[in-house]
């Protein structure tokens, strides 16, 4: 087996498992590294509070560090909670001899509000640790604390970054999670270089305990694997964003990101493809379905847990068509990325109604709109005339925009189960129906077919 890069975390222990050493080791492992540790402090901690802190002697912390380096080749490292001036003074001479990239997360305060850096350690942190950082990763409050700059806008961020660079680190990443913007923007700044924004969609969650630890550990892992700094930051952001979307309430306070999210997604792939194959078999023998198929080739879509792009949504490689003999034909085979337009609609809907798991496109034929009402399927309708000029019609852009807008404007988006598109020049009118699972989707199709029959018979 190929040797895993060793990533060393120098940080405090979180007994609640959400931050510190525990978050770092989970992150390093999930991203393909081997995690080693130097523990700077023990905390009695849960999701609500830090109730006590016990620090080992500075001599023992340094002994941990030297012992690891004496035997193990470290490919990258990160620091988190360093706690006290004596501990910083003990590890600084060892860092002076390092031959690996170092990410410094200047941890001052826990998510719960507990102080994790003693007052006497602030100057020591700046003078003895910052100069060894290949990347310094403060959040907005930490950037304000170390520079004295009140950050209100982007220019303030750039000013704080320049001041931090003057303290010795080679680069600074000021994290934007504490801002109130719709997207989270982390600003990467180097001496003499233009600030570079790294953006991710904001996740509406209370599970933010340990996000800084997770991000810095993920960046360090990427650097230890040989990734360039920008690539390591981008991958770390994507991992954290996924972990936040997969977060769950662990205790009574703010929970942590779900560090196992990539494994959960990977584990689900086989089941999604099996469900898609089973759905295809049901559709091919469903009575009355042929009448709902559009003239264009159609498809279905089933999303992985926490799917974020069409490559994580499965569909049939050749779509679904009606044959001249009147059969419903499943063309091709189940594959991820096999459905573009239906998948784009589903992903847009999941941003506001994440319990939706699968979708299918049907034709907006005479009677379908009434059948949807008769079947009790809450439907929204895309208004193509409101499309902004910057939204492209190609590759599902219009459908994705229209779906998100209609869901966002609906008083109860979690109740919506269909998105209608009246079409336009060269675009057939279509409806995308959505459900929590394959059985529910099949049942919805049957209700629509039955309603179409009832309308045809004047019932």
So which residues are the catalytic ones? Answer: 175, 208, 210-213
CB 438 within 8 A of CB 275: yes
DSSP state of 136: E
The helix (run of H) or strand (run of E) holding residue 282 is: helix 261-284
Burial of 89 (0-12, 13-18, 19+ CB in 10 A): middle
DSSP state of 312: G
- Percent helix, strand and coil across the chain, each to the nearest 5: 40, 20, 35
The helix (run of H) or strand (run of E) holding residue 64 is: helix 58-71
CB 434 within 8 A of CB 358: yes
> Residue 20: CA atoms inside 13 Å, Cβ hemisphere, count?
28
| Nearest-10 crossing angle of helices 211-224, 229-245 | 140
Task: Kindly give the residue spans of alpha helices, DSSP state H, lying in 96-176.
Answer: 122-124, 140-147, 154-165
């Amino acid at each position: 087996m190929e040797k895993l890069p060793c990533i060393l975390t120098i940080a405090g222990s979180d007994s609640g498992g959400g931050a510190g050493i525990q978050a770092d080791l989970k992150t390093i492992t999930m991203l393909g590294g081997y995690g080693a540790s130097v523990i700077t402090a023990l905390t009695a901690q849960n999701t609500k509070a830090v109730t006590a802190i016990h620090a080992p002697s500075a001599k023992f912390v340094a002994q941990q560090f030297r012992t690891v380096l004496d035997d193990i080749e470290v490919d990258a490292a990160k620091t988190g909670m360093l706690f006290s001036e004596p501990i910083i003074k003990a590890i600084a001479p060892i860092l002076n001899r390092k031959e690996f990239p170092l990410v410094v997360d200047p941890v001052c305060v826990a998510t719960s509000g507990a102080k994790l850096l003693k007052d006497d350690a602030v100057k020591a942190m700046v003078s003895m640790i910052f100069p060894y950082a290949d990347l310094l990763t403060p959040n907005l409050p930490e950037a304000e604390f170390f520079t004295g700059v009140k950050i209100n806008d982007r220019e303030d961020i750039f000013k704080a970054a320049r001041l931090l660079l003057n303290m010795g680190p080679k680069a600074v990443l000021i994290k934007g999670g504490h801002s109130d913007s719709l997207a989270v923007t982390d600003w990467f700044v180097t001496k003499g270089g233009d600030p570079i924004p790294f953006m991710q969609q904001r996740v509406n969650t209370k599970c933010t305990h340990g996000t800084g630890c997770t991000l810095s550990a993920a960046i360090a892992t990427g650097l230890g694997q040989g990734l360039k700094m920008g690539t390591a930051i981008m991958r770390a952001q994507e991992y954290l964003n996924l972990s936040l979307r997969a977060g769950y309430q662990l205790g009574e306070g703010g929970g942590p990101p779900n560090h196992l999210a990539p494994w959960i997604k990977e584990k689900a792939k086989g089941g999604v493809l099996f469900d898609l194959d089973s759905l295809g078999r049901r559709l091919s023998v469903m009575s009355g379905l042929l009448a709902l198929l559009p003239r264009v080739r159609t498809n279905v879509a089933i999303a992985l847990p926490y799917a974020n792009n069409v490559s994580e949504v499965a569909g049939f490689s050749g779509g679904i068509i009606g044959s001249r003999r009147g059969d419903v034909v499943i063309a091709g085979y189940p594959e991820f990325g096999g459905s573009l337009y239906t998948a784009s609609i589903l992903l847009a809907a999941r941003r506001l109604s994440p319990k939706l798991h699968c979708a299918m496109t049907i034709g907006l034929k005479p009677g379908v709109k009434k059948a949807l009402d008769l079947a009790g399927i809450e439907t929204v309708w895309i208004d193509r005339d409101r499309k902004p000029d910057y939204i492209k019609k190609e590759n599902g852009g219009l459908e994705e925009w229209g779906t998100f807008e209609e869901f966002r404007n609906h008083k109860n988006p979690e109740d919506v189960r269909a998105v209608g598109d009246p079409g336009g020049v060269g675009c057939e009118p279509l409806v995308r129906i959505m459900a929590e699972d394959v059985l529910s989707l099949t049942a919805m199709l049957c209700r629509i077919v039955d309603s179409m029959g009832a309308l045809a018979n004047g019932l």
